[in-house]
């Protein structure tokens, strides 16, 4: 069983949970066994009256509204919903009315809600993007999602938040239905950093969100910690990498996310930069024809790099060209799967950043 995070403890303390009946017949071999068990054990996911969980059964729009309402502690007293197909007598009327009033769910253009319809991945993207705070957006390169689609921004959010990564063929499949197991995975990733680690591409360069990373930099020691920050300077933050000085004071907050095309590092509600383009092959270049940043090129793969933490033997070397416009003297940095950037060196050999510990 995976550990309970501080956020999950707070969720339970606040009563953001759902009464559950025992669920049986869920094999440990199921793709989403841990996510389902995580939510079931914490009274967030409910089993059926016969005690089964049925992880491959679709989640209805009524069930989604019930879960949302109980997570948010809405008043679920049966009442008029405003939807002609959801009378006050419907078992989910109170939940549907409350979730709709909070603008977490919405009906169809004809005014109906269609409570027994199974939710689609597009509908789930809207729900999750409203439920969880995401202070940044990822570039969407799914072949079946375009900027003109209403679901584009919600997908940007849940992609950046490591709630989804899409399918290996680079599709999102917005019209596909969502099963109880898939719903559990999406929801668990929104609540628990450890599950976010599962929403990554193969050969990911993202860091483990359950660990802290310490660096010796030209400006002093930095500790990078993935944590939940409700509000910072009046802005909603959510889960974020916070960078602390050696004395424990906050230096800044940062973002780190990945798509099938690139690894991105930046600041919430601000700039972000592609630190690595995929596939990581020698000769790969980016920022060569833009005023956004100095040009970068992959100049080596399978490199051996020594850091104070350990010696890495499969690093990718990226060379940043000197560019006076960006006050860039030129430097080289090294990226490693599962660790991100582990070392940065000026052209004269001066080390400006180096990984010293992972805790």
For residue 319, whether the previous peptide bond is cis, meaning omega lies within 30 degrees of 0, is: no
Domain residue spans of the chain: 6-196, 213-358
Bigger pLDDT: 327 vs 134? 134
CA 354 to chain centre: 26
For the segment 134-142, the average pLDDT, to the nearest whole number, is 87
Phi/psi at 71 (5° precision): -65, -40
Tens digit of pLDDT for each residue in 255-309? Answer: 999 999 999 998 998 888 999 999 999 999 999 988 788 999 999 999 999 999 9
Is 9 a residue whose pLDDT tops 50?
no
Sequence-separated (6 or more) residues with CB below 8 Å from residue 252: 242, 243, 267
358, β-bridge pairs:
213
Q: Is the distance from CB of 115 to CB of 92 less than 8 angstroms?
A: yes
Residue 136: the pLDDT is: 84
Q: Is the distance from CB of 55 to CB of 184 less than 8 angstroms?
A: yes
Residue 25: the pLDDT is: 65
Tens digit of pLDDT for each residue in 194-219? Answer: 999 999 998 999 999 999 999 999 99
For the segment 115-143, the average pLDDT, to the nearest whole number, is 93
């Amino acid at each position: 069983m995976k550990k309970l995070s501080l956020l999950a403890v707070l969720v339970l303390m606040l009563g953001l949970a759902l009464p559950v009946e025992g669920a049986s017949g869920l094999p440990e071999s199921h793709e989403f066994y841990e996510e389902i068990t995580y939510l079931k054990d914490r009274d967030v996911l409910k089993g059926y009256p016969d005690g089964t969980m049925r992880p491959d059964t679709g989640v209805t729009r009524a069930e989604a509204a019930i879960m949302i309402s109980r997570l948010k502690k809405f008043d679920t007293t049966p009442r008029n919903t405003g939807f002609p197909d959801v009378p006050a007598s419907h078992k989910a009327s109170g939940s549907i009315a409350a979730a709709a009033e909070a603008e977490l769910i919405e009906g169809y253009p004809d005014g109906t809600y269609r409570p027994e319809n199974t939710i689609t991945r597009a509908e789930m993207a809207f729900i999750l993007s409203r439920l969880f705070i995401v202070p940044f957006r990822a570039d969407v390169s799914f072949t079946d999602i375009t900027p003109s689609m209403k679901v584009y921004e919600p997908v940007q959010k849940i992609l950046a938040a490591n709630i989804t990564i899409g399918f290996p063929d680079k599709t999102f499949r917005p019209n596909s239905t969502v099963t109880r197991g898939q719903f559990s995975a999406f929801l668990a990733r929104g609540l628990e950093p450890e599950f976010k680690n599962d929403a990554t591409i193969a050969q990911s360069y993202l860091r483990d969100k359950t660990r802290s990373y310490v660096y010796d930099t030209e400006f002093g020691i930095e500790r990078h910690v993935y944590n939940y920050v409700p509000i910072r300077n009046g802005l909603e933050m959510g889960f974020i990498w916070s960078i602390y000085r050696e004395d424990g004071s906050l230096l800044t907050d940062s973002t780190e996310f990945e798509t099938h095309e690139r690894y991105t590092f930046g600041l919430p509600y601000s700039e972000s930069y592609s630190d690595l383009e995929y596939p990581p092959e020698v000769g790969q270049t980016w920022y060569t024809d833009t005023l956004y940043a100095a040009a970068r090129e992959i100049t080596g793969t399978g490199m051996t790099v020594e850091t104070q933490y350990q010696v890495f033997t499969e690093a990718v070397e990226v060379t940043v060209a000197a560019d006076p416009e960006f006050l860039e003297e030129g430097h080289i940095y090294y990226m490693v799967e599962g660790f991100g950037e582990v070392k940065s060196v000026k052209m004269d050999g001066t080390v400006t950043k180096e990984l010293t510990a992972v805790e």
